[in-house]
Amino acid sequence: MNMIQYLSDLLKDSFNEKITQLGFSDVFFEILIRVVLILFLLLGCWIVHQIVQGPIMRTFERFSRFTNQQWDNVLIEKYFFRRLLYFIPLIILYIFITPILESTFAQSFSFIMVNILLLITGMLTLDALLNSILEIYENSNISKEISIKPFIQVIKLLLYFVTLILIISILVQKTPLYILSGLGALTAVLMFVFKDILMGFVGGIQLIANKMVAPGDWIEMPKYGADGDVIEITLTTVKVKNFDNTITTIPTYALINESFKNWRNMNLSGGRRIKRFVYIDLSSIKFCSNEMLLRFKQIQLINKSIQDRQHEILEYNKLNNVNESTLVNGRRLTNIGVFRTYIEAYLRQHPMIHQKMTFIVRQLSPGEKGLPIEIYVFCKDTNWTVYESVQSDIFDHILAVVKEFDLQVFQEPSGADFQYLAS
């Protein structure tokens, strides 16, 4: 004899005369008992829910504040414990609902609904756990090199997919394998629908495994208008915050199939390249006269260099019996050569120029714009703002000092120049 039958008989024995007078049937008393028990069960589940989500949950929150660990705070913020506690009233409902509705048409329906609620709660709890793991990982130093967000997203998709299959199998009263076998015919359609997700997942694995890009990297990809810092790597896209504060979204697989520039190594190396030219008017280049050399010797940065160079040239000319009546014979200092020596000496003593990285001050082939003097050095500070300031200060000085060496910077004629000629 089950519980419902026992309670029904007990009620009839206690109120036999009144039941006879009212004319109630045995079925009525059975239904009444089941309804009352269900109401008590639902009330009990609600009370348990209020307790676990109230005092017990607040106890967890207080405990997390007293610990020095951050992971428990993240679990609280991502609602992991709150969703985990949902299982307590659901388990109580699962245990007692079956005997109450035993041998009734509602038993199967209630069993299905409770199981679906348990599945959904489990999915939400695991989802909160995955969000917590991602948050904890992103607060670590290693996250700057390797992003696990695409993998977390894949796990979430699998979680949602498995939950959906299990819910369908419960509703249709079939095994999950039966449902999956029915999806075989839809494989081609699913592959087409989830093409970007699959390609993004494969691309994300290659990006992370080869350390091609990570959050915080400065990348350039002109095809997509991207020139800025990577702020997020997801399953299907990479988000780049450009320097004009716009956001560019690039498909993950595009970073595998196409070329892009990553400036990460520049930041890690501790030096940012300065590569710029000063074009010297060819007509201003000449040999140095004695008067010019006396003037150049007053420049402290190159005083010793000029003296050493003069001594070297003098010894060479004497050794080779050079006729110094004309400047063409023998070896001579030129104003462009002294100028290059000055630039190199100026940069050597500059506090923001990296002395252990590539350091070149050289001439390139003359062209229609004059003689290019290339400065190829590295700034110690890779910060864009500081770098541009240092570079500007250097060339402010170089352009201002050119005239001290009787040289002129080349500049194409403007309208004002032609007006001056006409007058």
47-57 pLDDT tens trace = 988 888 888 88
Please tell me the distance from the alpha carbon of residue 210 to that of residue 206, in angstroms, as a whole number.
6
Structure tokens at 159: 């979680």
pLDDT of residue 341 exceeding 90: yes
CA quadruple 18, 22, 26, 27: dihedral sign: negative
| Range name among 37-46, 59-68, 280-289, 386-395 with the lowest pLDDT average | 59-68
- Per-residue pLDDT, 423: 56
pLDDT bucket at 324, cuts 50 / 70 / 90:
confident
Answer whether residue 215 shows pLDDT above 60: yes
Query: How high is the pLDDT of residue 1?
Result: 42
152 Cβ contact list (under 8 Å, min separation 6): 130, 133, 134
- Whether 52 and 121 have beta carbons less than 8 Å apart is answered as no
Give the number of other Cβ atoms within 10 Å of residue 193's Cβ: 11
SS3 state of residue 220: strand
Give the pLDDT confidence score for residue 349 in this predicted structure.
Answer: 94
Q: Which pLDDT does position 247 carry in this prediction?
A: 92
Whole-number Å distance between alpha carbons of 313 and 315: 5
Domains and CATH numbers, the chain: 3-139 (no CATH), 206-268 (2.30.30.60), 272-422 (3.30.70.100)
- Distance from C-alpha of 232 to C-alpha of 252, rounded to nearest angstrom: 11
One-letter amino acid of 60 = F
Task: Share the mean pLDDT of the chain.
Answer: 82
Q: Look up tokens 């999806």; give the residue.
A: 183
CB 99 within 8 A of CB 118: no
Q: Please tell me the predicted confidence (pLDDT) of residue 14.
A: 54
User: Do 209 and 148 touch, CB atoms closer than 8 A?
Assistant: no
Whether the pLDDT of residue 314 is over 70: the answer is yes
Examine the pLDDT at 206 and tell me if it is beyond 80.
no
Nearest to 121 by CA among 155, 156, 91, 152: 91
pTM: 0.57
Tell me the pLDDT band of 185, cut-offs 50, 70 and 90. low
Q: Show the tokens assigned to 162.
A: 């498995």
Q: Which range has highest mean pLDDT (101-115, 306-320, 349-363)? A: 349-363
Evaluate whether 200 touches 236 at the Cβ level (below 8 Å).
Answer: yes
Q: Report residue 335's pLDDT band, with 50, 70 and 90 as the boundaries.
A: very high
Residues 66-73: what's their mean pLDDT? 76
Phi, psi of 234 (to 5 degrees): -110, -175
Residue 218 has pLDDT above 90, yes or no: no
- pLDDT at residue 99 greater than cutoff 50: yes
* Phi and psi at residue 367, to the nearest 5°: -145, -165
pLDDT above 60 for 188: yes
Kindly tell me if the per-residue pLDDT of 404 is higher than 70.
yes
Residue 94 token pair:
């699962």
Q: Is the pLDDT of residue 376 over 90?
A: yes
Which residues make Cβ contacts (< 8 Å) with residue 118, sequence separation at least 6?
87, 90, 91, 94
Q: Confidence class of residue 364 from pLDDT cuts 50, 70 and 90? A: very high
Q: How does residue 11 score in pLDDT terms, banded at 50, 70 and 90?
A: low
Q: Closest Cα to residue 252, out of 210, 209, 204, 193? A: 204
Q: Which of 327, 329, 341, 340 is nearest to 288 (CA)?
A: 327
For range 225-234, the mean pLDDT: 87
Q: Which residues pair with 371 in a beta bridge?
A: 280
DSSP state for residue 320 in the 8-state scheme: T
Q: What percentage of the chain carries pLDDT values higher than 70?
A: 84
Name, of 128-142, 171-185, 236-250, the range with top average pLDDT.
236-250
